[in-house]
Structure 1
Amino acid sequence: MVRAVTVGLDGSRESLAAAEWGAREAELREAPLRLVNVWAPDGVVPQSMADRDGQRHWAERIPRRAQEELRGRHPGLDVTADQLVGWPREVLPEAAAESELLVLGSRGLSGVGRFLVGAVGQAVLAQTDRPVVFVRAPEHGHVPPDPRGPVLLGLDTTADALLEFAFDEARRRRTGLWIVHAWSLPPYFGYGMPSDSSLTADLTEKEATHLGEAVRPWRDTHPDVEVTEDSRRGRPEDLLADAARDHDAALVVVGRRIRRSPLGGRVGSVTYGVLHHVTAPVAVVSHS
């Protein structure tokens, strides 16, 4: 049985953009699309019965209206809409566990090219092992453009789940895969030691070789995907943001290492930076 692509929907422009992106992804995967709207439990927020009934009626319209619009733009797509009771940071990870992936909206911040993954998005991301995609709303309306650029992968590990997701996304879109590997000079360069051009050249060659070795098995099993390897020195979040802009990336893929802790999971500083500065949709893939 093919699992659904699930979208967290609250009626905002960002979540409606996420729903449109999710519909396109569901079509590529030949999977159903599930829209999930989360309603707070009764009695949590003190208010009159009339106010609560009015809000419930409005909330029930959100997934139903989105469902109708998506069916109109994507005839033949199986779209369902559910309203679940609870807190989004608890309910959405449960919905994600039953899905191929979860899609959420991200909100723009003041300043060019910066976006916010709110507390709910971060909590959901830290609590699920399923891929989570964050989509920002376009400047006008809520139907984002469908970019034809490559899938962009930020790679600092050879995790199979991360590579498999990126190659599969490129294959589905019939586009190329651009793999960015960022690396840094040894720490002692930060303590006043003079730069050695030959050492830098050796490190550049070594890192490029390691990247090629990590990617080669996936090239062999996905010969239909055109792959570009880009290994360079710099901050990974900066390199990914620049590459996504320069190549009009259709999707940016980054990893999140699963860490079991009594205090909960962590998003990671690089992933956090990418989510806040990359304007293309960003898929976060958990791996061990």
Structure 2
Amino acid sequence: MLSPVIVGVDGSAESLAAVEWAAREAVRRDRPLRLVHARNWTRSHTESESANAAQRHVARRTLRRAEEHIRGSVPDVRLTDEQVEGPATAALLKATEQAELLVLGSRGLSGFTGVLVGSVAQGVVATAPRPVVLVRAGEEAEDEHFPADDGSPSTRTGFRDVVLGIDLADACDEVIEFAFEAARLRHARLRGVYAWQPPSAISLGPGDIGLINDPAQAEEWRNFLSTLLRVWRDKYPGTEVLETVVEGKASTVLVRAASAASLLVVGRRLSERPTVPRIGPVTHAAVHHVRCPLAVVPHE
């Protein structure tokens, strides 16, 4: 049985945007889509059965609204849904164990909405064993595509680039493969982006001072990036690959590169201490500032 694309549903605008994106992605991957609504995550032992029934009714109505939204926009998707009891972080993480990927709605700088507030969202993104994609409210199918010749939004044009943020000191196959596969499914270009900064005098050893502002350093990084991606070019011969090496802060460079992307892909190292969820400064900046859908891919 194929693992589904799973999307968290809470009835918010962000959630509905995530649902629609997840439906399109499920069709691209030829996977079923499962809507998951986590309810009763603050359940009190004193709650009456009537209160529980009311919560189930609200959950059912929320799921039905999401289903109607999908049927109108992505009618070909294979769809199931379920209500699960929380707490929300645990419920979504448990669901993710069975998933191809998990999709959530995001508000960026304003935090996460609905059931995904504060530490819940942080825990899901930082702890999930499978890739998590964050989608902003207002994300439309047209946003994934280049505009038409007259500048108007269109779904008939090609997909914008899939941008892959690469740390050449910690490059991981899982992250690179996810990005190449996303580009292949979209018939889009894959743009690998690496940001580097010259070493400071403090970080250099006694004999290294001549390396500061070395004009050849950028070219060396570019050659390194090209070598790293060569094997993936061979695995995905139909995917056009662009390599970008930019001097600057990684978070700033990636946010800028993602401004014209259909998807940004970044990595997250699996924590050796799962009770202390961390996503790293670059991924943190992407979560808060990137406007396009963001895929956070865990790796060893």
Same fold per TM (> 0.5)? Answer: yes
On the 8 A contact 2:108/2:287 being kept in 1, the answer is no
Amino acid in structure 2 at the alignment position of 1:227: V
The 1:187–1:45 alpha-carbon spacing in structure 2 relative to 1, beyond 3 Å, is: farther
Quick check: 1:215 aligned with 2:229?
A: yes
Quick check: 1:186 aligned with 2:183?
A: no
Secondary structure (helix, strand or coil) at the match of 2:184 reads: helix
Choose the corresponding residue for 2:290, options 266, 278, 287: 278
Runs of 5+ in structure 2 lacking a partner? 146-159
Choose the corresponding residue for 1:261, options 244, 252, 273: 273
C-alpha distance in 2 between matches for 1:45 and 1:178: 52
C-alpha distance in 2 between matches for 1:262 and 1:152: 28
C-alpha distance in 2 between matches for 1:198 and 1:49: 69
Deviations 1:16-36 (A, max 9, x none): 110000000001001100000
C-alpha distance in 2 between matches for 1:41 and 1:242: 37
C-alpha distance in 2 between matches for 1:3 and 1:147: 24
Match of residue 180 from structure 2: 167
Match of residue 150 from structure 2: none
Quick check: 1:249 aligned with 2:246?
A: no
Deviations 1:237-278 (A, max 9, x none): 110111111xx2000000001121163331111110111111
The 1:12–1:144 alpha-carbon spacing in structure 2 relative to 1, beyond 3 Å, is: farther
Shift of 1:197: 8.5
Deviations 1:77-101 (A, max 9, x none): 1111110112110011111110100
C-alpha distance in 1 between matches for 2:131 and 2:30: 17
On the 8 A contact 1:258/1:265 being kept in 2, the answer is no
Secondary structure (helix, strand or coil) at the match of 2:93 reads: helix
Match of residue 44 from structure 1: 44
C-alpha distance in 1 between matches for 2:161 and 2:279: 25
C-alpha distance in 1 between matches for 2:108 and 2:46: 31
Once the two structures are superposed, the pairs formed by residues 60-99 of structure 1 within 5 Å of their partners are: 60-99=60-99
Q: TM-score, structure 2 length as denominator?
A: 0.85
Runs of 5+ in structure 1 lacking a partner? none
Amino acid in structure 2 at the alignment position of 1:80: T
Shift of 1:69: 2.5
Choose the corresponding residue for 1:150, options 161, 165, 174: 161
The 1:198–1:88 alpha-carbon spacing in structure 2 relative to 1, beyond 3 Å, is: closer
Match of residue 176 from structure 1: 189
Match of residue 206 from structure 1: 220
Amino acid in structure 2 at the alignment position of 1:79: L
Shift of 1:234: 1.0
Match of residue 151 from structure 2: none
RMSD: 2.5
The 1:45–1:181 alpha-carbon spacing in structure 2 relative to 1, beyond 3 Å, is: farther
- Quote the sequence identity (%): 43
Quick check: 1:21 aligned with 2:35?
A: no
Quick check: 1:228 aligned with 2:228?
A: no
Match of residue 105 from structure 1: 105
Shift of 1:196: 6.2
Amino acid in structure 2 at the alignment position of 1:220: D
Secondary structure (helix, strand or coil) at the match of 1:44 reads: coil
C-alpha distance in 2 between matches for 1:134 and 1:74: 19
Secondary structure (helix, strand or coil) at the match of 1:286 reads: strand
Shift of 1:51: 5.0
